[in-house]
A = this chain, B = another copy of it.
Amino acid sequence: MKKYELVADKIKVYITKNKLHHGDKLPTITELMKEYQVGKSTILQAITLLTQRGIVYKVQGSGVFVRPTGRDGYMSLTDNAGFAHVLKDPTTEVIEFAEKRPPKPLCDYLHSDEVCYFIKRLRRQEGKPFVLEESYYPKSIIPFMSKEIAEGSIFDYIKDGLKKEIRFSDKYMRVRKLRADEAKYLELEEGDPCLEVYDTFYLANGTPFDSSKLVYNYQNSKFYDQSSDDII
């Protein structure tokens, strides 16, 4: 683990332990350097991490301060780690598991038209369906996949099992009305609102490894985003 990640974790623990809230000030960078026995840029990297995660913000000439904390029950739209870890009592039903070529629009996203694992899943939280998911994983990149894996966290499998690092993603979103077949799975009515997301994920080497269409149940999903313009 990198030094700045360790320091970032320690600072996070410090915030929790001392019950710091919005506007509370962290120790100065000089103090943190002494405290953790590292150079200035290491502290800056750690604080950059926490800034990107929406935990703190910096004010030049003044200090580093704690941001308001997010609320429960909201899913991050932008976090590439997926949201499996913030769900309460999540379950996943695999509706279809096959090998096929993706439809045209998804081929563009994947920059390829090769055969993929196709997985259609319905994901629930506390028994309530919140997203219907259709994903394509190119077999050349994800050499093995099974229905059992798809019933758990596919991203955890890719990270921990295949030791591949997920780095960035492109998302295109719109709101629309549900079609009858989607409504059935999501336990809603045809014509009800939904959020549709086309999502392409890339590995650390820039290869797209997953292109998905997600349709969210409007009653069982809400989202948050805490962004920051900070650099280093």
In this complex, what residue of B is CB-closest to A79?
B227
Main secondary structure, interface of A, reads mixed
Please state if B173 and A223 are interface contacts (CB–CB under 8 Å). Answer: yes
A21 to B212, CA, bound (A): 22
A154 to chain B, nearest CB (A): 17
Check: A170 CB closer than 8 A to any chain B CB. Answer: yes
**A78 in contact with B222 given A111-B22, A202-B57 (CB within 8 Å):** no
Question: Mask for A213-232, Cβ within 8 A of B = 1, else 0?
Answer: 00010100111111111111
* Number of chain copies forming the complex: 2
A176 part of interface (Cβ distance < 8 Å): yes
Interface positions of A from 95 to 128, Cβ below 8 Å from B: 111
Name the B residues within 8 Å of A171 (CB-CB).
223-227
A193 at the interface (CB under 8 A from B): yes
Complex: chain B residue closest to A177, CB-CB? B193
Known: A57-B168, A59-B204. A195 touches B224 (CB 8 A): no
| Shortest distance from the beta carbon of A117 to any chain B beta carbon, whole Å | 22
A48 contacts B by Cβ under 8 Å: yes
Contacts of A202 in B (CB 8 A): 57
Is A232 within 8 A of B170, CB to CB? no
Shortest Cβ distance from A193 into B: residue: B193
Report how far A54 CA is from B202 CA in the complex, Å: 12
Closest to A108 in B: B68
Tell me if B228 and A170 are in contact (CB < 8 A): no
Q: A174 to B217: give the CA distance in the assembly, Å.
A: 10
Q: CB distance A206 to B57 under 8 Å?
A: yes
- Give the B-binding residues of A (Cβ under 8 A): 4, 22-23, 41, 45, 48-49, 52, 54, 57, 59-60, 62, 65, 67-68, 70-71, 74, 77-80, 111, 166-177, 192-195, 202, 204-206, 216, 218, 221-232
Additional A-B contacts beyond A52-B231, A78-B78 (5; CB < 8 A):
A70-B170, A71-B172, A172-B223, A175-B193, A195-B195
